[in-house]
Amino acid sequence: MALFNILKKEDSTPPQPSDRPVPQHIAVIMDGNGRWAKKRGLPRTAGHKVGAETFRTIATYCKNIGVKYFTVYAFSTENWKRPEEEVSTLMNLFRRYLKEAIDTMAKDEIAVQVIGDLSVLAPDIRELVARCNAEAQKRPEFSVATLCINYGGRDEIKNAVRAIAQEVQAGQLKPEDITEDTISQHLYTAHMPDPDFIIRPSGEIRTSNFLLWQSAYAEYYFTDVLWPDFKPADMDAAIDEFNRRNRRFGGV
Ligand code: FPP
């Protein structure tokens, strides 16, 4: 009941678009769910449930203000170490959300896709992911919301290196022809631009294996706000800070 009341209250503020320039690709490490729940005497899983609602709100807000790509770290390759109940709650949240996204994608005008090492996910989740990704591919004109599930930056680079090595072994590629772009094209994000802006809520100041290759020139933004408390106004504040930064990409 407490959780329901909190959600009801938070849902009462509809996101309002603004007219500020926005990054093309924003990525978020959705951190602080456990602490949010602990502060309220709730189980950690309650934090993830509210965090999933925050994801819906912020993904919609990003689409409304013109962000083409919104990417979130939903489950890392290391998160399997968490208690079984927490892992299964997260998997159920993914199930529920993917089912919903398949049906509402056209209406919401957000192409929802999942990336990561999906081979170890439960077969029904893999099936939902396949349907969701197939649906998303039919909608190139939509904004894209990407869930990184069983994602690890090092794991992704290792898989890319393996795939490239296999092409070299098969005589399809010469080692001297391997470029940075070859590597980018073998990552899960091959079809997306690199993130311009990476946001980490909850006061933690580290990258935690998220989009390691792709973040080479990203601007980072850290805030103490816990992810379940993150509002469209927090996104506006982050984007204002992004717009104040002077991105030089190694130039002067
Ligand atoms: C890190 O916070 C968060 C996660 C490991 C999971 C994030 C997943 C969600 C918010 C659910 C997403 C669901 C959908 C449908 C998109 P933490 O639990 O480590 O927080 P703590 O550092 O405060 O303990």
Q: Please say whether the beta carbons of 54 and 33 come within 8 A.
A: no
pTM: 0.93
55 lines ligand 1 (CB under 6 A): yes
147 lines ligand 1 (CB under 6 A): yes
Residue whose Cα lies nearest atom 14 of ligand 1: it is 52
Answer yes or no: 133 catalytic.
Answer: no
Q: Distance between CA 162 and CA 205 in Å, rounded?
A: 31
Cα 51 to ligand 1 centroid, rounded to whole Å:
7
Of ligand 1's atoms, which has the minimum distance to the CA of residue 204? 22
pLDDT (tens digit per residue) in 164-185:
999 999 999 999 999 999 999 9
Q: Please say whether the beta carbons of 186 and 115 come within 8 A.
A: no
For residue 252, pLDDT over 70 is answered with yes
Beta strand pairing status for 110-115 and 219-222? unpaired
pLDDT (tens digit per residue) in 64-115:
999 999 999 999 999 999 999 999 999 999 999 999 999 999 999 999 999 9
52 lines ligand 1 (CB under 6 A): yes
The reply to whether 186 sits in an annotated binding site is: no
pLDDT (tens digit per residue) in 187-206:
999 999 999 999 999 999 99
Cα 33 to ligand 1 centroid, rounded to whole Å:
5
Of ligand 1's atoms, which has the minimum distance to the CA of residue 82? 5
Architecture of the 22-152+194-244 domain: 3-Layer(aba) Sandwich (3.40)
Sequence spans of domains, the chain: 22-152+194-244
Q: Distance between CA 66 and CA 33 in Å, rounded?
A: 27
Find where tokens 């992911």 sit: 129
